[in-house]
Structure 1
């Protein structure tokens, strides 16, 4: 059961209505989780600024972070959305499942990222120094490390918002991980 409703365009502030219009024009819909941010006058705009900020973690690497963190946090909404986005970024169904498990054996650089991100998310930021060193050895930089942590924070925000509100998932459900 939902703890709060998904607001419609007519139920949100004029500033959020403009953001709804921009989202609808850009992605064809206002995802329920984004609409939920609009219960706050400022949260949707602030979140979109964070999500769209410049970063050295982009494209496929960003989806690795999104999928790993969403799996660690068991967020059905974000797993569904990022499974779709991951496939749009060229990952196969099998690769998406592997990434969700914290590995990317098909790409050594993404594997180091996935392994470190899983460790950071599980250990609440207390990363295993060996995984940090493996991340750097795979060709990532200090800038990438800092930006990856920002992306972890970004994804944790949406994971927590969904876990608390339980708004309906409006993407195809992500498949279960195999044991």
Structure 2
């Protein structure tokens, strides 16, 4: 399989250098996801821009992590589940919510579970949801805006999980305490 570079600020293409420097300033290191995406400056810029946009939604940090981890688990992205588990812990997401997301089990909070199930539905149906799926989301207290914002989070995870699958991105030390592994046997192409 073709090996891809994990770039540094020095080795990255010109249009990725500033983006990697910004990531290093923000996190204290350059996450391997960004180092890999740097090979295609448009991908790195697009991912970072969409992440910034997703953070501007009406969703709380916990709600955003519900969407991101649900999609990461469904997409079988070991890197993303570990990274977002670490991020979720740092943001104060409760351990029971985090464990339910990592295991693909029911969240005890009914509102968060409705969001979780809708995120799963968007991913699994590729957006072809039924009215009953929307009705369940709305009955939990969410609205049409929420339904559309789930798509933003789903798109963000497509960008990162597909990158990580293509690059076999190694997990950063910062995320290793939250290592997660999917059974990719039913996900990978035969």
TM-score with structure 1 setting the length:
0.89
1:49-103, CA deviations, whole angstroms, 9 ceiling, x for partnerless residues?
1110132234111000011000000100000101101111222433212023153
Structure possessing the higher relative contact order (Cα contacts under 8 Å, 6 or more residues apart): 1
Find runs of 4+ consecutive structure 1 residues off by over 6 angstroms: none
Deviates more, 1:50-59 or 1:24-33: 50-59
Distance 1:56 1:69 in 2: 19
- Residue 188 of structure 2: aligned partner: none
Displacement after TM superposition at 1:124 (Å) = 1.7
Matches within 5 A, 1:158-173: 158-170=160-172, 171-172=175-176, 173=178
Q: Which runs of 5+ in 1 are unaligned?
A: none
1:151 has 2:153 as partner: yes
Q: Which runs of 5+ in 2 are unaligned?
A: 183-190
Contact (CA 8 Å) 1:37, 1:43: kept in 2 or not? yes
- Residue 20 of structure 1: aligned partner: 20
1:110 has 2:124 as partner: no
Contact (CA 8 Å) 1:2, 1:168: kept in 2 or not? no
Contact (CA 8 Å) 1:2, 1:166: kept in 2 or not? no
Deviates more, 1:75-84 or 1:149-158: 149-158
